[in-house]
């Protein structure tokens, strides 16, 4: 099956040819921009603050130590490594 022809990078002013939307030089920059936009407008700030709280971190550490790092499903099925 023939490959799709390469096209210019979607970044304004970049003329590198690529098979994807962005060339390898600008792929990372585009992901960083997406992440910043997500964090600013879509991320649930209340949930984020909960998972960064000392109370949650302590509880998580205690559960991790109690379960020896295994998930609940692995513990129920008796999967040990």
Q: What is the per-residue pLDDT across 19-58, written as a single tens digit (0 to 9) for each?
A: 988 888 888 888 888 888 888 888 888 888 999 999 999 9
- Do 61 and 23 share a domain, yes or no? no
Structure confidence at residue 1 (pLDDT):
60
> Model confidence over 47-58: pLDDT tens digits?
889 999 999 999
Domain containing 34 equals 1-43
Q: Are 22 and 9 in contact (CB under 8 A)?
A: yes
Checking if the pLDDT of 81 tops 70, the result is no
> pTM for the whole thing?
0.46
The verdict on 33 and 52 lying in the same domain is no
Shared-domain flag, residues 38 and 49? no
Residues 31 and 60 in one domain: no
Residues 1 and 38 in one domain: yes
The total number of structural domains that make up the chain? 2
Q: What is the pLDDT of residue 26?
A: 85
pLDDT score for 2 = 66
CA distance to 5, 6, 20, 24, 44, per residue, from 2 (Å)? 9, 12, 16, 22, 44
Residues 5 and 39 reside in one and the same domain: yes
């Amino acid at each position: 099956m023939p490959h799709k022809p390469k096209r210019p990078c979607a970044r304004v002013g970049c003329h590198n040819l690529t098979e994807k939307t962005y060339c390898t030089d600008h792929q990372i920059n585009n992901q960083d921009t997406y992440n910043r936009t997500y964090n600013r407008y879509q991320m649930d700030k209340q949930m984020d603050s909960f998972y960064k709280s000392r109370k949650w971190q302590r509880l998580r550490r205690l559960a991790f130590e109690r379960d020896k790092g295994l998930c609940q499903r692995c513990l129920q099925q008796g999967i040990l490594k």
